[in-house]
Amino acid sequence: MSKDPHTSPQLLVVTAPSGSGKTTVVRHLTSIFDFLKFSVSATTRDARPNEVNGKDYHFLTQEEFHGKVNSQEFVEWEEVYTDQYYGTLKSEVQKIIDADAVAVFDIEVNGAANIKRQYKDQALCVYIAPPSLSELESRLRNRGTETEASIQKRLRRAKQELERLDEFDLVLINDDLPRALKQAEKILRKNFHQHLS
């Protein structure tokens, strides 16, 4: 890849079906590479017990979210599940780029595809795939945070999302977490080498 900063990626987009390990991969990468700055998404879903507003997500009411949609404050947004909206704020992305850092996204599949369409070669999109749907179901159940209805809803969506692998730059199979994390590190060193001192 060219060392010209104008053609090197400014965004790292990590996407996956829910439960595939994208948040674990992103947390690992941001703990190692200090040039990565997490782009905090906005959502209307309720915060989980361990989540912090402004760090994990910007938790917004439906009214606040729709107000930002109407004033075109999002790069992308979507109703992922009924009455659960997620989006990427333009101000969040620009703040990171202005700091000469790489914006890293932990984002669902449609949002990732929308960012790729808008930013093209400026965005490197990595799809984290589970080894199988049955393994994904086990992971969702082991979380202990999902209802049965939520698990079924996430599995239905995952089946659709797994058909879209060819829309992304790289696919990383998370069948063994330590190995997947090492592969993710290699991807970063190869594609964002201009940020390594």
Q: Which of 170, 185, 159 is nearest to 13 (CA)?
A: 170
CATH of the domain spanning 11-189: 3.40.50.300
Short-list 186, 170, 172, 183, CA closest to 131: 172
pLDDT in 10s for each residue of the chain, 197 residues: 334 444 578 999 999 888 888 999 999 999 999 999 999 999 999 999 999 999 999 999 999 999 999 999 999 999 988 899 999 999 999 999 999 999 999 888 888 999 999 899 999 999 999 888 888 888 888 888 888 998 898 888 888 888 888 889 999 999 999 999 999 999 999 999 888 86
End-to-end alpha-carbon separation of the chain, Å? 17
Give the C-alpha distances (Å, rounded to integers) separating 156 from 16, 106, 138, 160, 195: 14, 20, 14, 7, 39
Q: Are strands 84-89 and 42-43 parallel, antiparallel or unpaired?
A: antiparallel
133: which 2 tokens? 């749907």
pTM of the predicted model, to two decimals?
0.81
